[in-house]
Amino acid sequence: MRLGQGITLEQSQKLVMTPELRQAITVLQLSAAELAQYVENALLENPLLDVREEQEGEVEHSVASVRDDYIEDWCSYLAEYGQVEESFGGGYSEWDEDEHYNLEHFVSQAPTLHDYLILQLHLTLSDERERKIGEFLIGNINDQGYLQISIKEAQAACGCSAAEVEHVLQVIQSFDPPGVGARSLAECLLIQLQQRGLRTPVMEKLVNFFLDDLAAGRIQKIASALGLTVQEVQLKADIIRSLDPKPGRNFTRQGEVCYIIPDVVVEKVDDEYIVLINDVSVPRLVLNKTYQRLLRQRHCCDPETSRFLENKLKSALWLIRSIEQRRLTLYRVAQCIVDYQKEFLDRGIKHLRPLTLKQVARDVRLHESTVSRAIANKYIQTPWGVFELKFFFSGGVENVLAGEMVATESIKRILKELVENEDPREPLSDQRLCELLKERGINIARRTVAKYRNELGIPPVRQRKRYN
């Protein structure tokens, strides 16, 4: 075998990832909130971008021709969608205070757990020394409501006695939410029982020694150990289950509250479902009029400035086009989903149909990767609630009786209804649930039933069984 070097010429096809293509892909997979932030950043970086102020009855003008043929083509395209304006006159829309400014549009900021406890501390304790100890202890309570340090550590940090720390801690443990300031799960539950007036020696034993057995549903074992009937143990177990093991979880830290903004809204008008793209939060981009004027008057600019403006203009036009392409692609995909899932929209989750990216890509004549990016991180508002667009893409099994496919989510909903309607004294086993599904034409294995049950958060038979 001889090795050598040579020069050959060959042709090949490959996709070049240009900056414009990379930007279009990025814009496509952004949610409405992310796109709004992306546009805000672009406005800061590109002086040729501007925001169009919406006015009622506003007449949109087409863009005037720009010197470069490339620019003329894009401006003509964008003018059809009202993205670029020619007019250099006019002002900003007046702020209608009566229509837009309303205190009902604002919500008060929810207090954090730390703020809530500090407020109660200052209302309860008047001694400055005790307040300092209390503030230190509250500062070491985590988001779930548990104290993260020991009495000795607090004593050393505050320079006080252990008795003082214990006293202040007991005061904090009497605060709302019940169970806050506990150092363990057992202590948290006992504090809540104490506040409810239900702390008895038997309840203390259950909390201190049998929590694992209660979680596993070993009621008979607990009854034998405590000399109680299974009915009595079950009633006490119900009380313990009603307690909150994480008393601080209803409070959030500042900035952690996240609101879902649906990217697509589906509304029923008469007997037809209308798809609306929710891009209200995204600023409407246009070309800056001042810089458009400069481009028409090239003799007023030096060559370097002219090249800079042309590059920024091309970048601005590409961004506007990418946003419009995102809107059109998202609309086509959402409309396809709505057409395919009309029975779900009419009758609920039980009638969700299996759907794949390949099916949608074929119907809208796009690549599967494009459909995948279009539904990424996006939500749709339907008459049955707000769902991720990915929710509608799931596999399924064939219903042998109906002769059609049944989506996984539909099967889970049927399982949930079967468990909700079961006799609690004789709960349905996974095998029995499997048999009931087969009677409905849905043939799945017992282990699949167990998997779906776990995903729904439904405990096994032993934990669902009632003895009274």
Q: Which of 191, 211, 241 is the last residue of a domain?
A: 241
The answer to whether the predicted template modeling score (pTM) of the entire model surpasses 0.75 is no
pLDDT the model gives residue 261: 83
Q: Which domain holds residue 34?
A: 19-88+282-323
Residue corresponding to tokens 């979680």: 215
Angle (CA) 140 141 146, round 5°: 135
For position 151, which CATH number holds?
Answer: 1.10.10.1330
Q: Is it the case that residue 364 has pLDDT exceeding 80? A: yes
Q: Is it the case that residue 34 has pLDDT exceeding 60? A: yes
Q: Is it the case that residue 259 has pLDDT exceeding 50? A: yes
pLDDT the model gives residue 199: 92
Helix, coil or strand: residue 42: helix
Considering the domain architecture, whether residues 219 and 125 belong to the same structural domain is answered as yes
Considering the domain architecture, whether residues 218 and 142 belong to the same structural domain is answered as yes
Low-confidence winner among 203-217, 280-294, 422-436 (lowest mean pLDDT): 280-294
Task: Tell me the C-alpha distance between 120 and 251, whole Å.
Answer: 15
Model confidence band, residue 460 (pLDDT cutoffs 50, 70, 90): confident
Low-confidence winner among 105-109, 226-230, 434-438, 456-460 (lowest mean pLDDT): 105-109
Q: Is 97 exposed, middle or buried (0-12, 13-18, 19+ CB in 10 A)?
A: exposed
Q: Which of 299, 323, 347 is the last residue of a domain?
A: 323
pLDDT the model gives residue 309: 79
The mean per-residue pLDDT over the stretch 269-273 comes to 87
- Residue 341 covered by a domain: no
Considering the domain architecture, whether residues 216 and 301 belong to the same structural domain is answered as no
- Residue 421 covered by a domain: yes
- Residue 272 covered by a domain: no
Q: Is it the case that residue 120 has pLDDT exceeding 50? A: yes
The mean per-residue pLDDT over the stretch 30-34 comes to 86
| Better pLDDT: 140 or 32 | 140
Task: Tell me the C-alpha distance between 30 and 326, whole Å.
Answer: 9
Q: Which of 296, 323, 350 is the last residue of a domain?
A: 323
Q: Is it the case that residue 386 has pLDDT exceeding 80? A: yes
Helix, coil or strand: residue 91: coil
Task: Tell me the C-alpha distance between 468 and 466, whole Å.
Answer: 6
Number of domains in the chain: 3
- Residue 1 covered by a domain: no
Q: Is it the case that residue 94 has pLDDT exceeding 50? A: no
The mean per-residue pLDDT over the stretch 355-366 comes to 88
- Residue 298 covered by a domain: yes
- Residue 177 covered by a domain: yes
Arithmetic mean of pLDDT over the chain: 81
CB 323 within 8 A of CB 355: no
Tens digits of per-residue pLDDT, 210-226?
998 888 888 889 999 99
Instruction: Count the Cβ atoms, other than its own, within 10 Å of residue 89.
Output: 5
- Residue 335 covered by a domain: no
Cβ contacts of 229-235, under 8 Å, gap ≥ 24 = 230/467, 231/467, 231/468, 233/206, 234/466, 234/467, 234/468, 235/468
- Residue 353 covered by a domain: no
Considering the domain architecture, whether residues 237 and 290 belong to the same structural domain is answered as no
